């Protein structure tokens, strides 16, 4: 007889109430030695208990006669495991019922200028959320998990799995885990990120590739395809593509270009884009990149940033408009239109509402530059021996503000100084410079972006010239 056969024999005898003391002790020894046998015993005890609970005892209780009162206690002791098993069944059934009820995994703490897409969860501030999906088209919302705070930056598609886990399908989030809350997990299509008590950002693009930015602390990351694992500390970055997990991100490929147009409407409004004629544009980074580091920059986007803690990453954008060939005697107003687009570089929740300046390069300092050769050492209006604008070579033409929650969309600058600058430069190709006045010392703060003339869907930088109409008496 095998051990398993002997166990089955002892189990059945005990549950039938006919096991001897020696057999009971032998069964007890087996149960202490094997979890598998213990699970088997509990399963069979539950089955017997279920039958008794439903009034169908598999093994009818033996009658207790007055003459047998001496053995009544012994029989009761014999059936105690069965009674205990029935109680276990009731408790297990109650637990199963409770686990079938939806459980809260997070709460919406705040929302700013939020436009929600189709999801499976409510979006009211203060609402407790069960497992499900949230789609935020624009704006910023903050979720409170038991062990982490997560800021979502639209557009974002996120799935709440449990109180300790979420899945980022696309978009940007910033997670913050306090001491003692280690172990919060963010899943992405390419990698799984486990927080070790830190602040970090995650960005997933539209093909599922992910970038992890450690802002402070420590994060474990595991590539789902290769199984490669690494730990990132301090301020560091990793990139997860479909085939690899790397500590830097490869540069994106360039896409198609499109031609710009100039048009005049019936109400004498002339639209001149940076793609018209000899128009051009480009952006400049103030400092050198570290050896071996390849920083991802989106195509068709002009990048602008200021961070006094990392001035080498500061960026400014240059836009040239072709104002030659127009017979314009006088302008009533001028607008500069820029379209903000998502860059995927940094996190808006680390940055407040941001003020931007628009400068014009004075004609005598407006060099003959182009986007292919423009760099930090030769841009127009440069202060000698620096990578900054020279205040004597440029003039402030206006400013605008981009809300923290809405870095995308149309931004319009209409200022008398801009009007005068364009009026003075009619017949030439003036250069405008876009800089960000707002600075933060937070690493991985957002890099703003504006659509360039080659952007496939967004509008390029455009001047709207309102021409004064003359009347004839």
For residue 252, being part of any structural domain is answered with no
Mean pLDDT of the chain: 82
Other C-beta atoms within 10 Å of 443: how many? Answer: 19
255: in domain: no
Full domain range(s) for residue 62: 3-99
Judge whether 181 lies within some domain.
yes
pLDDT digits (tens, 9 = 90+) for 396-444: 999 999 999 889 888 999 999 999 999 999 999 999 999 999 988 777 8
The string of pLDDT tens digits covering residues 319-361 is: 999 999 887 878 999 999 999 998 988 898 888 999 999 999 9
Same domain, 284 and 369: yes
pTM confidence score: 0.63
Report yes or no on 253 lying in a domain. no
Domain shared by 143 and 228, yes or no: yes
379 part of a folded domain: yes
Instruction: Give φ, ψ of 246 to 5 degrees.
Output: -130, 165
Domain boundary among 187, 218, 246: 246
Q: For residues 74 and 116, state if they share a domain.
A: no
| pLDDT tens per residue across span 308-320 | 888 888 999 999 9
Q: Where is the domain boundary, 246, 279, 307? A: 246
pLDDT in tens, 134-190: 999 999 999 999 989 999 998 999 999 999 999 999 999 999 987 777 899 999 999
pLDDT at 296: 62
Is the pLDDT at 108 greater than 50, yes or no? yes
Are 396 and 433 within one domain?
yes
* 256 occurs within a structural domain: no
* 53 pLDDT above the threshold of 90: no
Q: Which of 5-19, 45-59, 81-95, 387-401: highest mean pLDDT?
A: 387-401
CATH number for 290: 2.60.120.230
Q: Taking 50 as the threshold, does the pLDDT of residue 19 lie above it?
A: yes
Q: Please state the three-class secondary structure of the chain as a single string.
A: CCHHHHHHHHHHHHHCCCCCHHHHHHHHHHHHHCHHHHHHHHHHHHHHHHHHHCCCCCCCCCCCCHHHHHHHHHHHHHHHHHHHHHHHHHHHHHHHHHHCCCCCCEEEEEEEEEEECCCCCCCCCCCEECCEEEEEEEEEEEEECCCCEEEEEEEEEEEEEECCEEEEEEEEEEEECCCCCCCCEEECCCEEEEECCCEEEEEECCCCCEEEEEEECEEEEEECCCCCEEEEECCEEEEECCCCEECCCCCCCCCCCCCCCEEECCCCEEEEECCCCCCEEEEEECCCCCCCCCCCCCCCEEEEECCCCCHHHCEEEEEECCCCCCCCCCEEEEEEEEEECCCCCCEHHHCCCEEEEEEEECHHHCCCCCCCCCCCCCCCCECCCCCCECCCCEEEEEEEEECCCCCCEEEEECCHHHHHHHHHCCCCCCEEEEEECCCCCCCCECCEEEECCCCCCCCCCEEEEEECCCCCC
| pLDDT at residue 281 tops 70 | yes
Domain assignment present for residue 473? The answer is no
Q: Note the pLDDT of residue 198.
A: 86
Residues 28 and 134 in one domain: no
Asked if 95 and 112 sit in the same domain, the reply is no
The answer to whether position 251 is within a domain reads no
CATH number of the domain at 216, please. 2.60.120.1440
Terminal alpha carbon distance of the chain: 122
Distance separating alpha carbons of residues 192 and 204, to the nearest angstrom = 12
Where is the domain boundary, 99, 127, 143?
A: 99
Average pLDDT over residues 24-34: 84
Total domain count, the chain: 3
The two most distant CA atoms of the chain are separated, in Å, by 133
Q: Are residues 347 and 424 in the same domain?
A: yes
Per-residue pLDDT for 292 more than 50? no
């Amino acid at each position: 007889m095998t051990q398993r056969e002997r166990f089955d024999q002892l189990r059945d005898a005990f549950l039938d109430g006919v096991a001897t003391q020696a057999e009971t002790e032998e069964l007890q020894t087996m149960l202490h030695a094997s979890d598998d046998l213990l699970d088997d015993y509990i399963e069979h005890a539950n089955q017997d208990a279920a039958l008794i609970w439903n009034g169908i005892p598999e093994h009818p209780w033996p009658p207790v006669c007055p003459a047998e009162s001496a053995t009544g206690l012994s029989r009761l002791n014999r059936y105690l495991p069965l009674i205990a098993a029935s109680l276990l069944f009731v408790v297990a059934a109650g637990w199963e019922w409770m686990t079938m009820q939806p459980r809260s995994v997070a709460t919406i703490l705040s929302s700013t200028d939020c436009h929600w897409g189709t999801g499976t969860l409510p979006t009211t501030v203060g609402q407790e959320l069960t497992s499900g999906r949230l789609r935020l088209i624009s704006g910023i919302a903050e979720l409170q998990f038991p062990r982490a705070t997560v800021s979502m930056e639209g557009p974002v598609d996120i799935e709440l799995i449990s109180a300790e886990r979420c899945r980022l399908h696309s978009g940007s989030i910033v997670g913050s885990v306090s001491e003692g809350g280690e172990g919060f997990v963010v899943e992405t299509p390419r990698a799984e990120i486990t927080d070790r008590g830190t602040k970090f950002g995650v960005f997933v693009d539209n093909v599922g590739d992910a970038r992890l930015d450690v802002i402070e602390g420590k994060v474990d990351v595991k590539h789902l395809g290769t199984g490669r694992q690494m730990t990132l500390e301090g301020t560091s970055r990793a990139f997860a593509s479909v085939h690899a997990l790397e500590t830097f991100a490869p540069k994106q490929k360039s896409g198609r270009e499109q031609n710009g147009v100039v048009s005049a409407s019936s109400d004498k409004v002339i639209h001149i884009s940076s793609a018209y004629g000899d128009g051009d544009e480009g952006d400049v980074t103030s400092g050198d990149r570290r050896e071996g580091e390849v920083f991802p920059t989106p195509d068709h986007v002009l990048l602008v940033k200021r961070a006094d803690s990392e001035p080498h990453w500061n960026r400014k954008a240059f836009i040239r408009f072709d104002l030659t060939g127009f017979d314009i005697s006088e302008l009533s107003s001028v607008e500069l239109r820029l379209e903000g687009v998502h860059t995927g570089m940094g996190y808006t929740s680390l940055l407040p509402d941001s003020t931007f300046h628009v400068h014009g390069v004075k004609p005598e300092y407006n060099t003959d530059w182009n986007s292919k050769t423009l760099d930090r050492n030769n841009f127009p209006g440069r202060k000698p021996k620096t990578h900054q604008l020279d205040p004597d070579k440029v003039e402030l033409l206006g400013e605008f503000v981009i809300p923290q929650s809405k870095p995308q969309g149309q931004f319009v600058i209409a200022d008398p100084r801009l009007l005068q600058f364009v009026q003075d430069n009619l017949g030439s190709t003036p250069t405008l410079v876009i800089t960000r006045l707002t600075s933060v010392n937070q690493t991985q703060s957002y890099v703003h972006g504006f659509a360039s003339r080659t952007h496939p869907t967004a509008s390029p930088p455009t001047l709207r010239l309102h021409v004064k109409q003359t009347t004839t008496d």
